[in-house]
Structure 1
Amino acid sequence: MLYLGGNLISDIPPELAHLPYLTYLVLCDNRIQSVPPQLARLHSLRSLSLHNNLLTYLPREILSLVHLEELSLRGNPLVVRFVKEMIYDPPSLLELAGRTVKSRNIPYCPYDMPYNLVRYLDLASKCPNPKCAGVYFDSCVRQIKFIDFCGKYRLPLMHYLCSPECTSPCSSNPQSDAESEEENSVPADRLQRVLLG
């Protein structure tokens, strides 16, 4: 168990992910604005206390915490209001070329190309929009999407899209029918308790 509550912490150090046997993590009563995705490597984590912070979203990677039974989020802005943030930088020529290669499955030989270019192509991320077959590298749209964790509460998670066209005009509606496959794959009994109030 690691208790770091009430310490005016503004950032969670990603190095916490190097504690594979950590089961209880208490980060309540701080000034935390975001949860690093690296915490998804805490596979033994059963309880995560984040109440009374400044969280407006959670990273999608939190779905990987398969043993998580309790998630305390009360007293955070994400509980009382929906935050949507669009950040998009136009893709570079390198990114546009990389997207074309990956989306059209153009074969490339690693032995005939510079290592850094091969590595770049291997870092492509698939757009989570089920109606889009696109990929992105560095240039993407950051957006909040509600995910149903346990059949009762819908929590805003951060996800990344390949372009602004992939956003739905009704995506700010928690009951939107434009839901990803990932949402529907979360079992209803996944969390025993989600503490929002």
Structure 2
Amino acid sequence: MARLDNKVAIITGAGRGMGASHARRFIKEGAKVTLTDVNEVAIRELAEELGDNARYTVQDVTKAEDWRRAVEETETAFGDVTVLVNNAGILGPIAKTADLDEDDYLKVCAINQHSQFLGMKAVIPSMQRAGTGSIVNILSLAVCGPTTDSRALGLRGQQVRDPGDDEGDRPGARARQHSRELRAPRPHQHADDG
């Protein structure tokens, strides 16, 4: 018996990257999976690759109606949802806070933060009917660590990597460097500044 036999999952942002990796692993472990993304071509191709235990639906995770539809379609195809992987997320513009457009900021908040609430709200009734459930909310390393300005949610005050830094070309290097920057004390920062 595989680890995820009899599990029914919705995985957001499944069109590429971590979301696609999660989907492949869930299928390999025996789950039935609904892949969601705004990129229909990518999730359709992945669903075809993964076979009968995968389906897809185009979803804007910032819209409650899209969440209702994704849950209803999943329940119709596979049964009650028992796993939600809230993976969809964006980096957003790289700009100093004073230069950042409010609409761009709100878009990052809507996709990276509010959508997770909408997803949990949409799947919890299905999980309650199933008598079990697991919710995994994926969070970027960019928001980890103390900071004294608005660098959380993908907002940055400077370039993350030196253009000559070879490490910056490897996957994850940019996030690791940014995480180090957020944890490093600033020269003008005092211990009691937070």
More helix, by proportion: 2
| TM-score, normalised via structure 2 length | 0.26
More strand, by proportion: 1
| TM-score, normalised via structure 1 length | 0.25
